[in-house]
Structures are given as structure tokens and as C-alpha cells.
Chain A
Amino acid sequence: MAADPIIQLRGVTKTYGAGATAFQALKGIDLHVEAGDFVAVMGPSGSGKSTAMNILGCLDVPTGGSFRFKGVSVERLDRDQRALLRRRYLGFVFQGFNLLARTSALENVELPLLYRGEDKAKRRELAMAALDKVGLTQWWDHTPAELSGGQQQRVAIARAIVTSPDVLLADEPTGNLDTRTSVEIMELLTGLNRDAGITVLMVTHEPEMAEYARTIVHFRDGLVEKVEQVGAGVPA
């Protein structure tokens, strides 16, 4: 089991629409991601990287091919089964932070735990621990409007890791942040990957952010153009 990649795409295609207006966003992707890897996904707009991320995040299903996540064929799962998969194994960080407005940092971080059915004390404990990991303990009762962009993204990261997921999917996590804050966020993600062993999949436009990854996957025209090993390499 340990030798199996955590994510395995084989000949994955995705077509939107049907007939004459059909658009093929993915034209046959093969990709392996080993557990504990830090993967940056790059490519121009319309290259299919967002579609691939939606499929990797189990938010969408491929039209063709197979997607095995921890050995499970995701394309065979229904909507609710995929939701349960996300709940158990995945964490999401978005470009636009996507925190609940008028809701404290702590409540935002607690949100995934609610769906896990954790009791109040446990939720608080885990959420405070996650906020501690992103260095925002003293900001726990602030709403997103009272936090800077970087702080909001940290809250979002805390929310993503509060359930101790296997995989963290980050969709341009630094896209809305200035360079200095972006570096902080990247260091945070690198630390989580290194210390907690969370597999990180990150879409980015910025080459300097991609340099934090070990593996860079380049997309072009719905295909994987090349896979680069840049860091210390895939851990055994």
C-alpha cells in the first residue's frame, strides 16, 4: 500500500457540453502523486489545470479515464460519497480565501469539524491548535473583515488542516497577496508539507512560488506537457 501513489490519474479526459458545442478541457492526463509530495501545477489559462484540480479535489468527475485516490476509483463514487471523501481526506485553500463572512476565525476553522460530528470542546481544541499552527491564536475571535489578506489566507489554511487531511489542494493561494505575504504563506505550506507530511497540490501562475514545490507539473492545451523534479525529490 505504501508504494502506491496517493493520486493516480490514467487517461483522464473531461468534456464540457455535448455535440457541436462540446469542449474538451482535458484530453488524456496521466499523473502520479506520491504521498508527502509537494506538487505545483502550472500552465496558462485554459490549459486545463483548473479542471484537473477540480477532479483531483473530487469536486468533479472525469468524463473518461480513471482517477484512483488512495486506491479508490473516484469516478465510481456518487456526489455524497465524494463529499465524504473530501471531508475525511482533503483540505482546500482558495485564491479568494472563501471564509464565511461575519464569522469569527475560530468558527470558520471549526466548520469542517461540525460535519465530522465533533463535540464542542473537541472542535475548539482542534481549531485552536490549527490556528496556532498558522500563528493566529490571538486573532481567533476576529471576523474576516477585521483581518488582512494574509491573515485570512492563514485562517483558510487552518480550516483546511484542522481535520488533519492527507492532501491539501491550494488553488492559487497567493494570487491575491503581495510578494512578502505570499512568501509567508508558501513557507507555511512548505512547513506543513515537511512537518505534518501533508501532500500539497498547488495551482500557481508564479514561477517563484512554484519553486517551493518538489514537483512541478506543466499543463498545456488539456495535456500534461512535462513533469519537473525541482526540490529534494519524492520521498521514498
Chain B
Amino acid sequence: MFFTTVILAIREIRRHLLRSFLTVLGIVIGVAAVVTMVTLGQGATAAVTEQISSLGANILQIRPGQGFGRGGGGAQAPDFDMGDVDAIQQQIAGVRAVAPQAQSSALAVRNAANWQTTVAGTTSQFFVAQQWELTDGRIWTPAEEQAGKAVCIIGNTVRQNLFPRTDPVGQRFRVRDVACEVIGTLASRGQGGFQDQDDTVIMPIKAVQRRFTGNRDIRFIMVAVDEAYETSSVQASIEQLLRQRRNIGPGEQDNFNIFDTRQISETLQGTTRILTAVMGAVAAVSLIVGGIGIMNIMLVSVTERTREIGIRLAIGAVAGEVLMQFLVEAVVLACLGGLIGLVLALVATLIMAPLIQVPFLFDPQINLVAFSVSALIGIVFGYFPARRAASLNPIDALRHE
């Protein structure tokens, strides 16, 4: 009997194709909007996660001041020096690599080509900490590092702009006024965080300090934590050590900050997740509106089909059967709308994902949930009209014009 009712409902829907389509338009749009939003949102979350993890896993970033690059605690927070770097390396357990960094932005020039880039001075530990490999050439020797020789390893973006057609290794170019020799090229990393990681020239730190920044300060220390150790406990030990070295008394605030990349990653993931949820919720409102649309048309339909209901009751349909008929009709309609919505969402996400540069991730769960919700809406908003149809008096219904 239930199967028959479904067949009857489909027959009834086919008989009023345009009206049926208009009825479920709200559901179609609602489901499509929810699924598209959530799918794209999840793609964005995945993209952010991937970008952050490209910065390196289990990395602690240490900067002077509180927050990003701002001096905190009244006076300008002092930068670090090599002593801090060595101390971390030697005194803290669970440190895989410590890389200091001194940066300056500079214009790189080769022949007629020039390119504004970032010059980063560091030690060979940088490549260990970042697990960043060279595609060609070599890392500087300890002797070159000690002497602060002007040798450099260039990122892919710099390479493409300055050495578009030639092999850069062994070539020379100028960075600001410094002539430097290319000894290696870095594997491409793409966008990391919010900047192009490949747009960089890396030199021994002493070379950068001497020729670019003009002091021995270190603005940034990167610590790679050994997998076997808890990042947070290593972070705590480093904090303690640096407080000591920087003579911060008890009760005083740190004048430096340590960031866990995983923490940043989690924070960003949380943010995109919330955004996804909010957008999904907004879209869900249209689903509710779609449900009201179904109720509207079903109520009109009950009025319009009063005589039909009368006939059915007269020939022996019990109230439950009439109720079931209209309810099933509403649910079948809603489900059809849901299905169309899912197809629409699939098409929309496939088109939009490359446009907004997020990966397309098909999530069966959200599709299933959206479909179930549309079926549920069919039940909820179909019930009232169906009950109205079932409670009609057959005599009055038959007399209805």
C-alpha cells in the first residue's frame, strides 16, 4: 500500500509538472545553497590546513615583543642574538634544529631584470628545521657560514624572475649593492600562510647582518621540535630560558612571543569552520522558507482537490489513507527538490571551487544531511495540509465546486 501511495504521488506530481517544480524551488535552492556553502567551506579549511602545514610541522616561531612584530611591555623589546640561538640549541631538550633569521627587503638585480624580494639570513639549520630541500646546487659550508660569505640560495619565484632561461647555480647577481653567487635553488613551496614562500633569497646570517641590517640582531628564531617531544613543554622550557636570558623578573610580562604553527593552524581551521557553519546556517534559512513554500502549495492543492478527496472518501478511503496520500506527496516532492538541489550544488561547487581557489572535496555526509533535512521538511510542512485533507467531510467535499 505504501509503495502504491508513492506511485500515486509521483503520478500526481507528473500531472502538475510546472506547479510541482515551482513548489519545490525553495527546497532546491535551499539544499543547493547549504551544500555548496559547506562543501566550499570545507575546501577552504583543507586549503588553509595545507598551507599552514607547508610551513613545517612542529615548528615554534619566536619573535621579540608581544603579538606579531609589535613591541610590547612599554619599551621596545630587544631583538635576539646568536647567544640566544646557541642557548636554545644547547640547553633545551627535544629541539631538532634552531634557525635564527635576520631579514631585510632588497632589490635583486641581474642584467636588465630586477625584482623586489626578501633577503633572509640564517644558518644551515634553517633547511633542517623547515625540511626544505634544494632542487639544485648545495647549502653553504660551515666555513662560508662562519665567514659570512655572500653566497645565496634562491627561491623559485626569484629564480623565475631573474634567471628565466638559464641555470642560476654558479651565476652572480646583485642584491642591493652586494654581489652574490648563487650556490643553490630551493624546491617550490607555493603560498604559505599569507605570503609567497618562494619569493626569497637566503644567505648566511652574518652576511645579511653585516651588509643589509647593519647590526647583529636576530628578529626571528625558528625552532623545530623533535617528534618525540611535546611541543608545548618544549615551548615552556624555551620561554623560561629566554626570560632568564632577557632578565625578566617574576610577575613581569614576556617581551617576546613563541608561536606554535600547529596552534595557528588550529585557530585558522576553527575560524574557517565557524565561517562555514555561519554561511551554512544562513543557507539553511532558505531551506525553511522552501518548506513553507511546500506547505503553501499543498494547502492550495488540498482546496483545489477537495472534490477529489470527497470521491476518495466516498469510495472508501479511510482518513489515514488520505492523510498518507498528501503527506507522501509532500515528502516525495521535497525529496525530489532535495535531489535536484544536490545535483545543482555539485555543478555549482565544481564550477566555483577553481574560481575561488579551493580544492573540491565531495562530502557524502553533508549531502546526506541536506537530503534528509529536505525529506524532514516535507513531513513537517506536509503534515498540516494532509491532516486538513483527511479531516474533510465527504459530503461537503463532494459538493465543493
A and B held together in a complex: yes
Give the number of residues in A that approach B within 8 Å (Cβ atoms): 27
Known contacts A59-B394, A92-B314: A114-B319 contact under CB 8 Å: no
Q: Please give, as numbers and ranges, the residues of chain B lying within 8 Å of A208 by CB-CB distance.
A: none
Partner of B312, one of A90, A91, A111, A117: A111
Interface assignment of A98: CB less than 8 Å from any CB of chain B: yes
Q: Is the CB of B318 within 8 A of A92?
A: no
Partner of B318, one of A59, A84, A114, A159: A84
Interface residues of B in 284-322 (CB under 8 A from A): 307-308, 310-321
Q: Is the CB of A80 within 8 A of B8?
A: no
Q: Mark B157-200, 1 if CB is under 8 A from A, else 0.
A: 00000000000000000000000000000000000000000000
Partner of A86, one of B1, B315, B319, B321: B315
> A90 to B395, alpha carbons, bound, how many Å?
15
Interface residues of A in 93-114 (CB under 8 A from B): 94, 98-100, 102-103, 111-112, 114
Interface residues of B in 310-336 (CB under 8 A from A): 310-321
Interface assignment of B4: CB less than 8 Å from any CB of chain A: yes
Interface assignment of B361: CB less than 8 Å from any CB of chain A: no
Partner of B316, one of A84, A98, A102: A84
Q: Is the CB of B395 within 8 A of A83?
A: no
Q: Please give, as numbers and ranges, the residues of chain A lying within 8 Å of B398 by CB-CB distance.
A: 94, 98
Interface residues of A in 58-98 (CB under 8 A from B): 59-60, 79-80, 83-88, 90-92, 94, 98
Interface residues of B in 1-59 (CB under 8 A from A): 1, 4, 8, 15
Interface assignment of A57: CB less than 8 Å from any CB of chain B: yes
Q: Please give, as numbers and ranges, the residues of chain A lying within 8 Å of B319 by CB-CB distance.
A: 79-80, 83
Partner of B308, one of A60, A92, A100: A100
Q: Please give, as numbers and ranges, the residues of chain B lying within 8 Å of A85 by CB-CB distance.
A: 316
Interface assignment of A182: CB less than 8 Å from any CB of chain B: no
> A88 to B8, alpha carbons, bound, how many Å?
21
Q: Is the CB of B315 within 8 A of A115?
A: yes
Q: Please give, as numbers and ranges, the residues of chain A lying within 8 Å of B310 by CB-CB distance.
A: 98
Interface assignment of A24: CB less than 8 Å from any CB of chain B: no
Q: Please give, as numbers and ranges, the residues of chain B lying within 8 Å of A79 by CB-CB distance.
A: 318-319
Residue of A nearest to B311 (CB): A98
Q: Is the CB of B315 within 8 A of A111?
A: yes
Known contacts A59-B394, A59-B395, A94-B398: A115-B8 contact under CB 8 Å: no
Instruction: For residue B228, give the distance in angstroms from its CB to the closest CB of chain A.
Output: 70
Residue of B nearest to A91 (CB): B315
Q: Please give, as numbers and ranges, the residues of chain B lying within 8 Å of A112 by CB-CB distance.
A: 315-316
Q: Mark A134-169, 1 if CB is under 8 A from B, else 0.
A: 000000000000000000000000010000000000
Partner of B315, one of A54, A80, A87, A103: A87
Partner of A92, one of B1, B8, B315, B321: B315
> A117 to B318, alpha carbons, bound, how many Å?
13
Q: Please give, as numbers and ranges, the residues of chain A lying within 8 Å of B308 by CB-CB distance.
A: 100
Residue of A nearest to B8 (CB): A114
Partner of A60, one of B307, B311, B318, B395: B395
Known contacts A86-B314, A87-B316: A115-B321 contact under CB 8 Å: yes
Instruction: For residue B310, give the distance in angstroms from its CB to the closest CB of chain A.
Output: 7
Q: Please give, as numbers and ranges, the residues of chain A lying within 8 Å of B321 by CB-CB distance.
A: 115
Q: Please give, as numbers and ranges, the residues of chain A lying within 8 Å of B307 by CB-CB distance.
A: 98
Q: Is the CB of B311 within 8 A of A88?
A: no
Q: Please give, as numbers and ranges, the residues of chain A lying within 8 Å of B314 by CB-CB distance.
A: 57, 59, 86, 92, 98
Known contacts A98-B310, A114-B4: A80-B318 contact under CB 8 Å: yes
Q: Is the CB of A159 within 8 A of B1?
A: no
> A83 to B316, alpha carbons, bound, how many Å?
4
Q: Mark A28-70, 1 if CB is under 8 A from B, else 0.
A: 0000000000000000000000000010010110000000000
Q: 27 A-B residue contacts at CB 8 Å? A: A54-B395, A59-B314, A59-B395, A79-B319, A80-B318, A80-B319, A80-B320, A83-B318, A84-B318, A85-B316, A86-B315, A87-B316, A92-B314, A94-B398, A98-B311, A98-B314, A98-B398, A102-B15, A111-B312, A114-B4, A115-B312, A115-B315, A115-B316, A115-B317, A115-B321, A117-B1, A117-B4
Q: Which 9 A-B pairs have the closest CB atoms?
A: A87-B316, A80-B318, A86-B316, A83-B318, A112-B315, A98-B311, A59-B394, A92-B314, A102-B15
